[in-house]
């Protein structure tokens, strides 16, 4: 492929490489990965739907990963409410629509899976929305923790319900709201 590109005079681009860092947070060991396109993942070490760090990923702190780490730590300290990072999550077209909708949930507020389904003009797709929310690779930054059950109850979170409760309480304290339960 490279030889063909050089023969044609094309610029051959090396495959984008995923970089990854790990660091401690108040909610446990956190893993952040990204490439030239943007941030691809933020996971807790024991998070559901996280297969682990791939062998091809490079353990190196890039400017993007450094910025993500700084912003996450500021968020956990209650000093940041909105992330300013280029995002590049990879999923199906439906998952990406759901993840885009999640980004519209304001800090300190919540909505239901049904609300997201209605927003997507697919009111019967509540379970599919729930599955897509659960597969969100950018925990916290794409705020899947802000989605609750139809009766405003805490339901599924790939990082665990204790973390979801902690995140919601942090945001609601900072926003001057109180979470029940």
Flag whether 139 is in a domain: yes
Q: Tell me the pLDDT tens digit for each residue of 94-112.
A: 999 999 999 999 999 999 9
* Candidate from 12-26, 57-71, 95-109, 125-139 with smallest mean pLDDT: 12-26
Q: Is residue 29 part of a domain?
A: no
Q: What is the pTM of this model?
A: 0.84
Residue 149 in any domain: the answer is yes
Which sequence positions are flagged as catalytic? 144
Per residue in 116-159, pLDDT (tens digit) is 999 999 999 999 999 999 999 999 999 999 999 877 777 777 78
Q: So what's the pLDDT on residue 159?
A: 80
Number of domains making up the chain: 1
Which one-letter DSSP state was computed for residue 147?
Answer: E
Structure tokens at 141: 């930054």
Identify whether the C-beta of residue 33 lies closer than 8 Å to the C-beta of residue 20.
Answer: yes
Per the structure, the complete domain to which residue 168 belongs is given by: 93-174
HSE on the CB side for 85, CA within 13 Å?
33
Q: What is the pLDDT of residue 31?
A: 97
């Amino acid at each position: 492929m490279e030889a063909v590109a050089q023969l044609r005079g094309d610029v051959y681009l090396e495959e984008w490489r995923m970089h990854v860092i790990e660091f401690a947070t108040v909610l446990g060991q956190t893993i952040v990965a990204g490439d030239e396109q943007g941030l691809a993942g933020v996971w807790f070490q024991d998070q559901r739907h996280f297969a682990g760090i791939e062998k091809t990923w490079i353990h190196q702190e890039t400017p993007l990963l450094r910025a993500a780490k700084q912003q996450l730590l500021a968020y956990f300290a209650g000093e940041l409410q909105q992330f300013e990072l280029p995002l590049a999550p990879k999923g199906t077209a439906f998952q990406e629509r759901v993840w885009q909708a999640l980004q519209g949930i304001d800090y300190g507020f919540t909505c239901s899976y049904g609300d997201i389904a209605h927003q997507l003009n697919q009111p019967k797709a509540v379970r599919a929305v729930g599955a897509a929310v659960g597969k969100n690779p950018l925990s916290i930054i794409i705020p899947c923790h802000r989605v609750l059950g139809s009766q405003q109850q805490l339901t599924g979170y790939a990082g665990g319900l204790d973390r979801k409760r902690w995140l919601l309480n942090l945001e609601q304290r900072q926003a001057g709201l109180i979470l029940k339960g």
